[in-house]
Structure 1
Amino acid sequence: MANKRDLKKDINYVLGDIIEEVYVWQLDNPDKDDKAGEAIIDEAITSFDGFMARVNDRKVENASKHFKAIRNDLQKTAEALVKKVNSL
């Protein structure tokens, strides 16, 4: 199993890449409204904060099961955010 540091890096990279894609879209489409993109960025940042709080929780019974659940939730969240970015 990967360690906590790797999980934190994965969260950072995945959500950071999504935010970067929104910024690229905003630069490529300066004439379009930025509110939808900003909402996606805000959602990604909120998700990041929530995932980091869950990773740093030290009061879990089964760490392996806990981190696996976080990875699954990260994948679902990332897929939802990517769909939103693609619909811009």
Structure 2
Amino acid sequence: MANKRNLKRTINYICSDLFAEAVAASLYGEKPNKDNIDALLTSIIIIHNDFISRISHPEPGMETKTYYKAIIDDFNKQASEIVDQIQNI
């Protein structure tokens, strides 16, 4: 990890791409359920806000390197789940 700013920037890019893909899949997919699309878009925004705030306010007493590694691993898992949900639309 170079610094917090680069990590935040990467999360912003990934979340905006996921949001755009979800919108595109909802527009060009075969009769998607509006409630499912709304829930998916809301979850992307919640994930974005959660991880940005976790980066801005690290937990005290935890080693910095392991804390940010855990954040990156958690974000990658949740982003993969969102990608799977977009593919199922």
Number of residue pairs the alignment of both structures matches: 88
Distance 1:63 1:22, change over 3 A: same
Percent of pairs with identical residues: 27
Gap regions ≥5 residues in structure 2? none
For the residues of structure 2 that align with 1:3 and 1:14, how far apart are their CA atoms?
17
1:16-58 per-position Cα deviation (integer Å, ceiling 9, x unaligned)? 1111101111221384332211111101111111111110114
TM-score normalised to the size of structure 1?
0.88
Gap regions ≥5 residues in structure 1? none
Q: Which residue of 1 aligns with 2:60?
A: 60
Higher mean C-alpha deviation, range 52-61 or range 26-35:
26-35
TM-score normalised to the size of structure 2?
0.87
- Do 1:11 and 1:48's aligned partners in 2 also have CA atoms closer than 8 Å? yes
The amino acid across from 2:32 in the alignment is: K
